[in-house]
Amino acid sequence: MTQNQDDILLSTVIFTDGAASGNPGPGGWGAVIRSPEGHIHEMGGPAQDTTNNRMELTGAIKALAHLRLNPPGPIFLLTDSTYVIRGITQWIWGWRKRGWKTASGTAVTNKDLWQKLYILTHDSGLNVTWRYVPGHAGFPGNERCDRIAVAHSKGRRVGYFRGPEAEYSIDLTLLPPEAPLPEMKKRKAKAKAHSYLSVVGGEVMRHDSWSSCESRVKGQSGAKFKKAANAADELTILQTWGISPDKLPPQ
């Protein structure tokens, strides 16, 4: 169902964002909540040794948790994180069915936060509609959350506004048009290795596969190994190890 801007502004509107310096590294999250009556509530916080995705999730969790004790009716949560939106509206059903495993059988990354977000959006009485807002595209609510999150990630002090919209310098009524999520980026296929080099006891060998290389160096004290992208890369690796190319057996 498509909602126009007037309908959305009659609901509670939340903007959230997250940031990490280093990814992983110091991080921060930010949220701005606008009530239908025009009351503004800014929030944010720091975290150490975290990731951008964890901070994006945390921003949404903290904002929704703030509203949990007194559910306000319909909520529109706007985020520039397609990871968060796809996760909570699409991927989470398969994760839960498989016992919080991905389709490939690995553990779901950020499981603890996804579980918290699921409870807030499905077991707490909150009525949340997720909406994508392009990041750094001039939408004031998103830009403000980004500034809060980045400031916290850099250890800077943040002043929050909490009061009537008439005294707020940011226009939260400027909302992005409803649009499909951007298509997911396809993962680039890993380039096939030209070879794998290993050194054990001063003797260098070339391997066609990682398994062969691994079996030679595993448990060997002082062993060295590295993947080579091409013939020139082989020579560079040998030079780094201080080994003459003449010691490398011919292919």
234 a catalytic residue: no
Select the more confidently predicted residue: 77 or 71: 77
Say if residue 67's pLDDT is above 90.
Answer: yes
123 a catalytic residue: no
146 a catalytic residue: yes
Between the two ends of the chain, the Cα-to-Cα distance in Å is 63
233 a catalytic residue: no
Catalytic residue among 42, 146, 152, 207: 146
136 a catalytic residue: yes
Say if residue 112's pLDDT is above 80.
Answer: yes
pLDDT for the residue 205: 93
> Of 60-64, 155-159, 175-179, which range is least confident?
175-179
Q: What is the pLDDT of residues 161-181, one digit of tens each?
A: 999 999 999 999 999 988 888
pLDDT for the residue 36: 94
Query: 173 — alpha (psi -120 to 50), left (phi > 0) or beta?
Result: alpha
Q: What is the pLDDT of residues 7-33, one digit of tens each?
A: 788 899 999 999 999 889 999 999 999
Which residue has 């190994």 as its token pair? 225
7 a catalytic residue: no
Q: What is the pLDDT of residues 182-204, one digit of tens each?
A: 887 766 666 788 999 999 998 99
Chain centroid to Cα 208, Å, comes to: 35
CB-CB contact of 31 with 84 (8 Å): no
pTM, to two decimals: 0.74
Catalytic residue among 37, 99, 105, 136: 136
Fold of the domain spanning 5-167 = Nucleotidyltransferase; domain 5 (3.30.420)
Domain boundaries, the chain: 5-167, 195-247
Give the confidence band of 250 by pLDDT, cuts at 50, 70, 90.
Answer: confident
Query: How much of the chain is helix, strand and coil, in % rounded to 5?
Result: 35, 25, 40
